Amino acid sequence: NRLSLQERLTKQIVDCLNEHLKPKGCIVEINSKHACMCLRGIKSIDSITKTIKSSGLFDKDENLMRKYISLKK
């Protein structure tokens, strides 16, 4: 219903997953193109903005977060 900052949206998704699914850990990653980056300002057509929010075990265990990042490569 309203515009949302990508960072806020990422956090809201993590909060919703934690509330309803009650996982031991959660990571949400959003990659998107923003019209303001493509059409105005720097006019970078291929620019992608990435936000990552984690909770639970991923916040407590640095090795687990490293494993997640290595799997994405």
Per-residue pLDDT of the chain in tens (73 residues, 90 and over written 9) = 566 788 999 999 999 999 999 999 999 999 988 766 656 666 667 778 899 999 999 999 999 999 999 998 7
By DSSP bridging, strand 49-56 and strand 25-32 are antiparallel
For 9, 16, 37, 67, the CA distances from 13, given in Å and listed in that order, are 6, 5, 23, 22
How far is the C-alpha of 57 from the C-alpha of 27, rounded, in Å? Answer: 10
Q: Give the helix ranges, DSSP H, for 1-45.
A: 6-21, 35-39
